[in-house]
Structure 1
């Protein structure tokens, strides 16, 4: 945080490329190569899945978070103890032998937040309750669960994430008009055509232009598509 506000805000403390500042590769991210460029994805859902995402806002800003391809429903919001969670979050960082802490001029010690490191824990196994690689938010929750406002009900592609709150959304990687028990819960097109994937990001332009954005890819089902890239679009 600088004197005029945040210097840089990232999604899950991760740059667009997904590369680790200490090492070029995080073993818990998925490498995706398109056009000779390899980037590292953390969100790799299966087509047809519905996932509950918990977005914990540790910044001073309200962020309108937007997903491409999918729409989602806001479940609720809940406040949490920011100072205690921040302490647990920082304590989870493992330190570094090569990255230098500008506050000390020495390598980062264990238990000190490292910018752009990615999540401090393993994305898949670091939190027994959830994916993401961050300490569990549950022990730090406080106050009542707040349901969506009337204007926030229904399918959305953008919802505001307020500071000091965890915002829970149900993200559906399938057409919204199909029931959840539909045996053909898939898109009419291949969501992974040419492997480029999609993005999710903050919709404040200064934030998304400065890497508060991450790519993701959807693992497609092996089904026949009625809309084919190169033929129908």
Structure 2
């Protein structure tokens, strides 16, 4: 093969490569139907959220699911800093608080952190509404310090509960009937026990049955039937 022929073949080969390079610089067009069926937006913009959904989310009206475990009713958590003595010393104090309205004491936990020790001696009194615990404190001596902690849980007062009393009254004086929300004398557990779609005790949020008791429910049409007399 002559040098001229060789040079000619090289030139043809380079021309073909350049054509391929130029053709490769252009991205293929996207089919509109395919793009509409789920193709990515070439601008990178996020799909718009319907205004109704955005407003409902901002108003806190989106359901968060069911089956959420209920937390224990904590009356209070307290701590007592102790120590700073040359020698060991013991003393007794009452730790805790008064139970909340309509609540009675249920159980407690006592534990110590740091130096020394502490342990419970029992409830501070026989009053069911006294959520205080009698605690024995022991300083370790040697000018060391520790902290005694208590956590007291409460539960609804049975005398103020609608459990088994729907349609009537509880011994403690509150009511469990359909007009108690109008008079404002429902027991604290009236809604979950007798009327899960009542706004009694749920004003500003969602009732146990799923209807709403906030200022936006009128706009969304999901107010509980007693929203107006119970919350306005």
Q: Which has the higher helix share?
A: 2
The structure whose Rg is larger is 2
Indicate the structure whose relative CO is greater, using CA pairs within 8 Å and at least 6 residues apart: 1
Normalising by the residue count of structure 1, what TM-score does the alignment of the two structures yield?
0.28
